[in-house]
Amino acid sequence: MDASSSDSKYHVVLFPFMSKGHTIPLLHLARLLLRRPNFIVTVFTTSGNHSFIANSLSDTTAFIIDLPFPQNVPQIPAGVESTDKLPSMSLFAPFALSTKLMQPDFEKAIETLPRVNFMVSDGFLWWTLDSAIKFGFPRLVSFGMSIYSSCLSKAVVEQRLLFGPESDDELITLPQFPWIKVTRNDFGSTFRDSEPSGPHFEFNIATITAAINSYGTIINSFYELEATFADYWNKENGNKTWFVGPLCLADAPRVEHEPRKKPTWIKWLDQKLEQGRSVLYVAFGSQADISAQQLKEIAIGLKKSKVNFLWVMRAKDPEYGDESELEEGIGDRGIILREWVDQREILIHQSVNGFLSHCGWNSVLESICAGVPILAWPMMAEQPLNARMVVEEIKVGLRVETCNGSVRGFVKWEGLKKMVKELMEGETGKQVRKNAEEYGEIAKKAMEEGSGSSWCNLDVLVDGLCNPRNT
């Protein structure tokens, strides 16, 4: 870029969707932009999400503007301004659709800002495209997904492949990618319905249409991880993509904690490291609802596996039975938390050698960057596709065994114990760990300032948007 040779300021607006998994990558993008000369970044959010964003960006020069979240929305409890606070993910569609009511306040705020060079908004905030067109600046989309999952979803829709199989678990070969097989259960209900309708379908159509008409899509991934699918997408679609990740690497590793200020979970991990014991990290994200019965099977499986584990549960997860009985059986071999933790700090800890994960895309990338293999247990959204990528495409993980072999099947403790031990102690586990470490090194190179593929991709993108005369 030649921005450093000019006294001009380049102003970028970021508007993440009100969900931690969607917000965090855009906050990392803010850091990447601010490492370039003469960039101003303004982040839009709501008052309920302000503190999380302000704390994350407290050591930067980013500006934060709060917009009022819509009130009195049917089905949405008062005060809920983030998807992790929803009583159930069945309310996702009305929550997401209600954000359009923020548009007038968003446009009033835009009018008060210095000239905007471009905006990156979450794909779920589809209505921001209209605002970008109105004020005459380009809008880029961020969905926080892999291009692999986007390619597979596009393939089954275009070929109507999900309406032929008799069973939801019958394997389907993708003509565009003949080495890949999927099932109907790998996709959400709107993909499986031959005549979809309702709020969720309307929301999907709105987001896809807005994405197609936007300037392009930012992908939180690196080209070397998904080269085949990146090339396919950019060849077959008018909507160009830019690989600028893994964005989690834009945030510098945490400084060492003072001994007295270390969180309990870091002290526990330090203890395991001193004892020479490997730890399995267990977390399923902030969205998926897990039944008390399933949580009990997880608890028993971890207990009987005899591995050391750190399990982070959501505060609103149900009790899974007699928790004191579990604690008696594991002693200091396991720790269960119902509090916020720094997931990346856990994954890069030298004692952590496996991750039992729902395969949310942020978690997949953080695990790869840390060189930690994954035991994949997808729960919702595009997570089943991410799990296929992790296990079958890039081979950095294994998969849990469900009792009926279905993607969405129940997992009993016996199957969980078996796969936990294989990941942490087995020969296959050693191989996927080696693969994860290799991809982790490639990820770091992709983000190297001035030379990495993702760094250069972002340079080309912002230079074209801020200095169009150079393109």
Q: What string of H, E and C letters represents the secondary structure of 85-98?
A: HCCCHHHHHHHHHH
Phi and psi torsions of 54, nearest 5°:
-65, -40
pLDDT value of residue 258: 61
Q: Is the pLDDT reported for residue 4 higher than 90?
A: no
Domain extent for 116: 3-151+186-245+447-470
Q: Strands, DSSP E only, in 16-53? A: 39-46
The 10s digit of each residue's pLDDT in 349-379 is: 999 999 999 999 999 999 999 999 999 999 9
Residue 200 and residue 226 in one domain: yes
The residue behind tokens 């005459």 is 136
Number of residues in the chain: 471
Phi-psi region of 198 (alpha: psi -120 to 50; beta: other; left: phi over 0): left
- Residues 180-206, mean pLDDT to the nearest whole number: 85
Any domain includes 454:
yes
Phi and psi torsions of 168, nearest 5°:
-70, -15
Q: How far apart are alpha carbons 421 and 368 in whole angstroms?
A: 20
Of residues 430 and 255, the one with the higher pLDDT is 430
Q: How many CB atoms lie within 10 A of CB 329?
A: 14
Residue 241 and residue 318 in one domain: no
Q: How far apart are alpha carbons 345 and 356 in whole angstroms?
A: 16
pLDDT value of residue 262: 85
Sheet with 216-219: list strands edge to edge: 63-67, 39-46, 10-15, 118-122, 139-142, 216-219, 241-243
Name, in order, each residue with C-beta under 8 angstroms of 265's C-beta and a sequence gap of 6 or more.
Answer: 310, 335, 337, 341, 346
pLDDT value of residue 3: 36
Any domain includes 124:
yes
CA distances from 443 to 221, 228, 241 (A): 9, 16, 18
The answer to whether 383 touches 21, Cβ cutoff 8 Å, is: no
The total domain count for the chain is 2
Residue 361 and residue 221 in one domain: no
Residue 201 and residue 289 in one domain: no
The answer to whether 358 touches 377, Cβ cutoff 8 Å, is: yes
Residue 328 confidence class, pLDDT cut points 50, 70, 90: low
Residue 240 and residue 296 in one domain: no
Q: How far apart are alpha carbons 357 and 215 in whole angstroms?
A: 33
Poorest-confidence range of 50-59, 123-132, 294-303, 323-332? 323-332
Give percent of the chain with pLDDT exceeding 70.
Answer: 92
Residue 312 and residue 343 in one domain: yes
- What SS3 state is found at 14? strand
Structure tokens at 365: 């990338």
Of residues 409 and 139, the one with the higher pLDDT is 139
- Average pLDDT score, the chain: 90
Nearest CA among 123, 99, 111 for reference residue 45: 99
Residue 49 and residue 121 in one domain: yes
Any domain includes 86:
yes
Q: Is the pLDDT reported for residue 265 higher than 70?
A: yes
Nearest CA among 396, 220, 437 for reference residue 387: 396
pLDDT value of residue 321: 59
- Residues 107-111, mean pLDDT to the nearest whole number: 97
Structure tokens at 199: 């709020």
Of residues 259 and 14, the one with the higher pLDDT is 14
pLDDT value of residue 53: 96
Residue 326 confidence class, pLDDT cut points 50, 70, 90: low
Residue 435 and residue 323 in one domain: yes
Of residues 404 and 17, the one with the higher pLDDT is 17
- Amino acid residing at 46: T
- Residues 270-276, mean pLDDT to the nearest whole number: 95
Q: How many CB atoms lie within 10 A of CB 55?
A: 9
Give residue 186's Cα distance to chain centre: 17
Which is it for the CA torsion 312, 315, 317, 318, positive or negative? positive
Q: How many CB atoms lie within 10 A of CB 62?
A: 22
Any domain includes 435:
yes
pLDDT value of residue 462: 93
Any domain includes 62:
yes
pLDDT value of residue 105: 97
Residue 305 and residue 360 in one domain: yes
Residue 216 and residue 121 in one domain: yes
Q: Which residues on neighbouring strands pair with residue 281, listed in sequence order?
A: 310, 355
Question: What secondary structure does DSSP assign to 235-249, as a single string?
Answer: HH-SS-EEE---GGG
pLDDT value of residue 215: 95
The answer to whether 287 touches 380, Cβ cutoff 8 Å, is: yes
Q: Is the pLDDT reported for residue 329 higher than 80?
A: no
Cis peptide before 246 (omega within 30 of 0): yes
Poorest-confidence range of 208-217, 325-334, 444-453, 458-467? 325-334
Nearest CA among 456, 301, 457, 289 for reference residue 375: 301
- Residues 52-60, mean pLDDT to the nearest whole number: 94
* CATH number for 370: 3.40.50.2000
Any domain includes 78:
yes
pLDDT value of residue 384: 96
Residue 113 and residue 195 in one domain: yes
Any domain includes 178:
no
pLDDT value of residue 5: 37
Residue 380 and residue 366 in one domain: yes
Any domain includes 166:
no
Q: Is the pLDDT reported for residue 6 higher than 50?
A: no
- Residues 400-427, mean pLDDT to the nearest whole number: 93
CA distances from 43 to 24, 56, 128, 186 (A): 12, 12, 14, 34
Poorest-confidence range of 98-112, 192-206, 435-449? 192-206
Structure tokens at 297: 């099977």
In the chain, how long is the greatest CA-to-CA distance? 68
Of residues 200 and 267, the one with the higher pLDDT is 267
Q: Is the pLDDT reported for residue 110 higher than 50?
A: yes
The 10s digit of each residue's pLDDT in 223-247 is: 999 999 999 999 888 778 999 999 9
User: What's the predicted TM-score (pTM) here?
Assistant: 0.92
Nearest CA among 359, 366, 418 for reference residue 391: 359
Q: How far apart are alpha carbons 244 and 284 in whole angstroms?
A: 25
pLDDT value of residue 403: 86
Q: Is the pLDDT reported for residue 189 higher than 60?
A: yes
Q: How far apart are alpha carbons 399 and 331 in whole angstroms?
A: 27
